[in-house]
Amino acid sequence: MRHAPLFARVVFCLLVTELGMLTFSLPAPAPGFAADAASAKRATDAAAPELILQLGHTAPVQSVAYSPDGTLVASGSEDGTIKLWEARSGNVSRNLLGHPRGVLRVAFSPGGERLVSIGGDHSVRVWNVQTGSLEHSFAQFTEYAGALAVSPDGALLACAGGRLGPEGTLDEVALWDLASGKLRNTFTTPERVHSLAFSPDGRTLFTGGGRVQGGKSSAFVRSWDAQSTTQRNAFRVDGPTIESLVISPGGTLAAGAGADGTLWLWDLTGGQLRDRLAAHSRTINALVFTADSRQIASASDDGSLAVWDTFTGKNKRRIKTGGTQLRSLAFSPDGSRLVTGGAEAEPASGGTRLFDTRSGNLKWMHAGQGVRVDGVALSRDGQLLATGGDDGPVRIWNLPDLFVRRLREPHTPPPQTPVRSVAFSVDGKTLGSTRGDHQVELWDIRSWRLERRLGDEMTDIRSLTFSPDGKAVSCGGRMGLQPLIQWDPATGTVLRRQMGPDQVYSVAYSPDGKWVAAGCPRSARIWSADTGDERHVLRQEGSYVADVAFSPDSRTLATGGGSTVRLWNVETGASRRVLTGPTDQVDAVAISPDGTVVAGGGHDRIIHLWDARTGNQLAALDGHTAPITELTFAPDGRLISSGADGSVRFWSTVEKRLLATLIVLPPSDEGDISTRWMATTPEGYFTGDDVNRFVRWRVNGKLYPAQRYGKLRKESPIVKALLPSYRTAK
């Protein structure tokens, strides 16, 4: 069904733009745009309204925390974002771009004015809760970072991590002044620390962790003077390491969670082990005391949440969450609510849930419904954009009219197997798609029907491409010494099985049709398209070459492997230039239609642009919130990128800026595969299907329905004008 586009013609000043984190401010209406007097007065008198997208995390939630006043819940996820939720309604109040490699821990300062986070990038960040601005960023650790605590008076921030020393990794704890961001002290620890906690008076810092020595595992809890950093006491028990450590608000009990599901309780006044409870069948990831110290809650990988009486050791309540792996939890200040974060049963999804402590009833829940986009392709005439992702269907975006359809066989549900790659034939009549199992699909674009299936000869199919003359389609995957297969798309017969390594990650034809290139383990390879003879083996750093791209004149091949992009002479196989800038694995490369610009992107979430002639970096385009999965240039030089964050983004390589973003919105019904979508521009123009369900206005810290400024809505061609619709391209 074709959806009538809904346009909102609202003039915004962009504050932040990213998937799931779109924040716009609204000034007074521009001339010619209707608004009632009350709305105009509110927009003028109040702080500028911000538009907040109401989307959940798209990866497991690693940490949650309640604000001291109980009004906000913070959640940090592997998707690299931090969300602040209204505790009562479950609405997203603010979004923060956390850490490139995921957020591991979050904690509020005692006054609630700051939020502290620690990430997989080994950095520590301090945020202003009211404005969402980043106040401080620390990079003390180089090897790992995984625990944090804020002192009760809000003066000190303690973090545990590891850095490389002369004799290997040093496990240490660093103490910062939270207000100024100055480093106060550091001290090393005998074992790796997984959890930190301050005593109620802030004078003592407790560390929980463990080590393996002589084949024997031991768990340790140590106490340190927070000012001098000298050790005071140590508790040791045989068994797996302490994963979580908390100190009771009264300062008399310490609770530790074991990797084997054991809950330990120590009496800090007497220094004795008080209880050892078989609390869960799997690892306990988080513990939290109630304010009166009478109860403690535990969250586990077994999907259950349990509440215990700290005096008797008896289980008071157990809540099962249906397959969810619980990674974190927090009590509301009054103890009436428990919030949890974890990994949902839905693949690559994270959930934040709020429970009533007394009844165990679920009050609200937000689970991520993001669709990772692995493949993106633009038809030669620029009218159609194809995407493939991890939820199964191939989506076709009609750019001139801005609507989306799913490709599937009549009267059959769409398959759930992830789509890894999509490509249009040169004549635009056929679309090819690959599935992660062993299927290659050829779709007739005129009828929107499946024309034929190819495959069953290989597994883990990653990439496909059509030859320039349309007489062959090549597909790369895993199949012994024949990882590259060429088919006749008209008949489905195999033309050639290419000998080579045991895996092909990407494949491309040269524009002149002479060569086929493939990304392979530790190298790229070039074969003759006619004979299949191997021309060159191009060695590159990194465990594999993730992507390859030819220049328009077919003389240069760009390869992405490790943290670099290389340019090669196709005739001689010589390396022409090494392009540096990425800080992590490069997964996508592309060369502009005029051959002057090379683009690369990957795990660091940045699109890097280089001058193909000099190798100088031209720009670093920041916008994706998860790894970049594909890059392709449109005929006029605009760049299209896709990402694991579920977005497709359009960039101007001349102005070096983001033009527009397309995202798939969550489905309306459980189990449905969505065709709902949203298109936005950095200036704040947006359009989409059923958009009002996913937006709220934030004014002076309060959220309002999308309809609050509904009279400012007006049809506009702005979004469509920025998307690449190239009717003149041939």
pLDDT tens-place string over residues 213-256: 777 888 888 899 999 999 998 888 887 888 888 888 888 888 88
**pLDDT tens-digit series, residues 329-344:** 999 999 999 999 988 7
Residue 716 has pLDDT above 60, yes or no: no
Cβ atoms within 10 Å, residue 594: 11
Contact 463, 507 (CB under 8 A): yes
Tokens matching residue 601: 């992107």
Digit-coded pLDDT (tens) for 380-397 = 888 889 998 877 788 888
Name the residue among 397, 388, 385 with its Cα closest to residue 464: 388
Closest CA to 691 of 725, 663, 719, 712: 663
Average pLDDT across the chain, whole number: 82
User: How far apart (Å, rounded) are the C-alpha atoms in residues 424 and 443?
Assistant: 10
Give 132-142 pLDDT, tens digit per residue.
899 999 888 98
Indicate whether 359 pLDDT > 60: yes
Q: How far from chain centre, in Å, is Cα 690?
A: 24
**Alpha carbon distance 341, 64 (integer Å):** 6
Domains detected in the chain? 1-55+666-730 (no CATH), 91-315 (2.130.10.10)
pLDDT in tens, 560-619: 999 999 999 999 999 999 999 998 899 999 999 999 999 999 988 899 999 999 999 999
Angstrom distance (rounded) from CA 182 to CA 233: 28
397 bridge partner residues:
385, 404
Band of residue 36 on the pLDDT scale cut at 50, 70, 90? very low
Phi-psi region of 693 (alpha: psi -120 to 50; beta: other; left: phi over 0): alpha
Judge whether residue 117 has pLDDT over 70.
yes
Query: pLDDT tens for residues 259-303?
Result: 889 998 988 887 788 888 999 999 999 999 998 999 999 999 888
Region 637-650: mean pLDDT is 90
DSSP 42-100: HHHHSPPPEEEE----SS-EEEEEE-TTSSEEEEEETTSEEEEEETTT--EEEEEE--T
User: Which positions ≥6 away from 49 have C-beta within 8 Å?
Assistant: 25, 26, 43, 697, 698, 699, 704, 708, 709
Distance CA 145, CA 167 (A): 19
Residue 184 has pLDDT above 80, yes or no: yes
